[in-house]
Structure 1
Amino acid sequence: MRRFSMSYLTAPVASPLESIRIASEVGYDHLGLRLHPTAAADAPSPLLGNRTLVAECRRLLDDCGLTLTEVESWMIRKEFDLSHSAAAMETAAALGSPRLIAVADMRGTVEQAEIEDRFAGLAEMASGFGLGVDFEPIAHRAAGTHDEALSVVAAGTGHGAGLILDMLHIDRMGISPNALAAIDRSLLHNIHLCDAPPAPVDLETMVRHSAFDRDLPGEGALPLKGYLRALPADRPLSIEIPMMRLGDSVSPGERARRCLSASHRLVENIDGLLA
């Protein structure tokens, strides 16, 4: 049976307790949280340094029967300081055994060899907390091709390194279903599910689709059925569908509900064809 996780960007709320409640009420099996700020301007998670809140979240996760599958997100830059990561890793470990997500900075700002070196250090540090790290390749960022991403993951071999694939970025990178099927299954722990408009030619629109403006599964232009048939069906599908165009007109809970309903319809159609 397919399992679904509510990614942070699907229903972004400030309170981790509210995130857990939304995921539980809507009917998700898992969820993801943002603990580590991706950009310097991001607000720190209220969980950091708050053992009481961490314990409350862990109790609520257990009471709701939810598990934390992923924690966002480490941006690998030329200047990459791990000294601030211990608190986020300690918090993640206290909440279960989620996978940490790492992404690379924009192309031209950091070299491939530097990304591999910094990712290896991140994976080694995380392993000391009993955590694994997944590298997420993004087409418009550094290490944003299939081969480059696999090379980054290989640098973390021996420290629980993995690869997390997002349907949007699979499309933008031009990875075929056959290439997906050939990826070592042991590297794949979670898979990001979304739909999106056709690939744009300009960077600004590509970034907007990625961070702010995706579609419900089945309502965009991505060949999701081919991708999902090529990927293992026993990995959690982490629904990551930012829809900032909705503004405040649709509550985070309703967004999460619409995303899960559309995802169920998509996979039921796929699994029915494979039965």
Structure 2
Amino acid sequence: MREVSLSAGSVLDLAPHDVVECAADAGYGWAGVRLSNPRREAPAVGTALARTGLGLLDVEVVRLAAGPLSDDHRALADAAATLGARFLLTVVDHDDEALAVEQVAALVEHLRGTGTRVALESMAFTGLRRRADAERVARAAGAQVLLDPLHLHRAGDDLGAPADPDVVGYAQLTDAADPPSGADLAHEARHLRLPPGEGGLDLARFLGALPADLPLAVEVQSDELLDTEPRERAAALRAATQGVLDGRS
């Protein structure tokens, strides 16, 4: 049975600790949080995790620009490890692959001995544009990757390509209008996503290529859905996700 997590992106109007409470109320077993100030926000997240009994699937987001790891990167990694997150979501924002390998390997080394893995996400508007780019860097650096069907589709990757369980740590579930709703792919990803099963992505093919026990994070960043109350939104996304998993949509 797949573990399903409420991604921070689906409820960005909530504080990180409230994301955990919201996920529990909506019937998720896991949550993900986005920390802008890990030292200040992490304690309340830890309290919410202890109270609800939820697991923490991921902490967002390390953004790697050119240069060495920063104190902010390490602070976020430390918070993820302290909170028991399974993954630290990481994005590469430059085009130097050798440097990316070096940076990610340093982040992996920083987390060595903890239960937290570095997970790279490919996006057409970042340094790791294609799935193969992220997987190549992950293998070289000892990290894993996160698969998002929207980003894969927009980059021209095959949603049905088999996932190597040694390198793919988890996946996101989302949907989108098809054909593309506009040329600005970053804007689409951050503002125009659709609930699973309500768009044009072949999610059945995507899920069929994943290991049966690979965790899923439901990420639907949508300006339209921001008009709904967060807990109602989270519950509706959970129901939509279950419909896709059950083959009803």
> Normalising by the residue count of structure 2, what TM-score does the alignment of the two structures yield?
0.91
CA distance in 1, matches of 2:149, 2:134: 15
Q: 1:233 is matched with which residue?
A: 212
Secondary structure of 2:39's counterpart equals: coil
- What residue identity is the alignment partner of 2:166? S
Q: 1:253 is matched with which residue?
A: 231
C-alpha offsets along residues 142-180 of structure 1, whole Å, 9 cap, x if unaligned?
2211321111102212xxx1111001112112222452x
What is the root-mean-square deviation in Å for CA atoms of aligned residues? 2.2
2:93 pairs with 1:111: no
> Normalising by the residue count of structure 1, what TM-score does the alignment of the two structures yield?
0.83
C-alpha offsets along residues 34-62 of structure 1, whole Å, 9 cap, x if unaligned?
12xxxxxxxx33x4146xx61x5334313
How far apart are residue 199 of structure 1 and its match? 4.7
Rg larger in 1 or in 2? 1
Contact 1:10 1:240 in 2 (8 A): yes
How far apart are residue 268 of structure 1 and its match? 0.9
Q: 1:48 is matched with which residue?
A: 39
Q: 1:77 is matched with which residue?
A: 65
CA distance in 1, matches of 2:95, 2:102: 11
CA distance in 2, matches of 1:267, 1:14: 26
CA distance in 1, matches of 2:73, 2:170: 22
Contact 1:117 1:155 in 2 (8 A): no
2:219 pairs with 1:219: no
In the superposition, relative to structure 1, how do residues 128 and 85 fare at CA in structure 2: closer, same or farther (>3 Å)? farther
Contact 2:8 2:16 in 1 (8 A): no
Q: 1:175 aligns with which of 157, 173, 176?
A: 157
- What residue identity is the alignment partner of 2:233? R
2:162 pairs with 1:185: no
CA distance in 2, matches of 1:97, 1:116: 22
Q: 2:78 aligns with which of 65, 90, 100?
A: 90
Secondary structure of 1:216's counterpart equals: coil
CA distance in 2, matches of 1:258, 1:20: 16
Q: 1:40 is matched with which residue?
A: none
Runs of 4 or more above 4 Å deviation = none
Q: Which runs of 5+ in 2 are unaligned?
A: none
Aligned residues: 249
Identity of aligned residues (%): 29
CA distance in 1, matches of 2:100, 2:183: 21
C-alpha offsets along residues 72-113 of structure 1, whole Å, 9 cap, x if unaligned?
0111211343222232222222211320011121xxx43222
CA distance in 2, matches of 1:131, 1:3: 17
Q: 1:65 is matched with which residue?
A: 53
- What residue identity is the alignment partner of 1:141? T
Q: Which runs of 5+ in 1 are unaligned?
A: 36-43, 271-275
In the superposition, relative to structure 1, how do residues 112 and 202 fare at CA in structure 2: closer, same or farther (>3 Å)? farther
Q: 1:16 is matched with which residue?
A: 16
How far apart are residue 10 of structure 1 and its match? 0.4
Q: 1:144 is matched with which residue?
A: 129
How far apart are residue 128 of structure 1 and its match? 5.3
CA distance in 2, matches of 1:95, 1:177: 32
- What residue identity is the alignment partner of 2:75? A
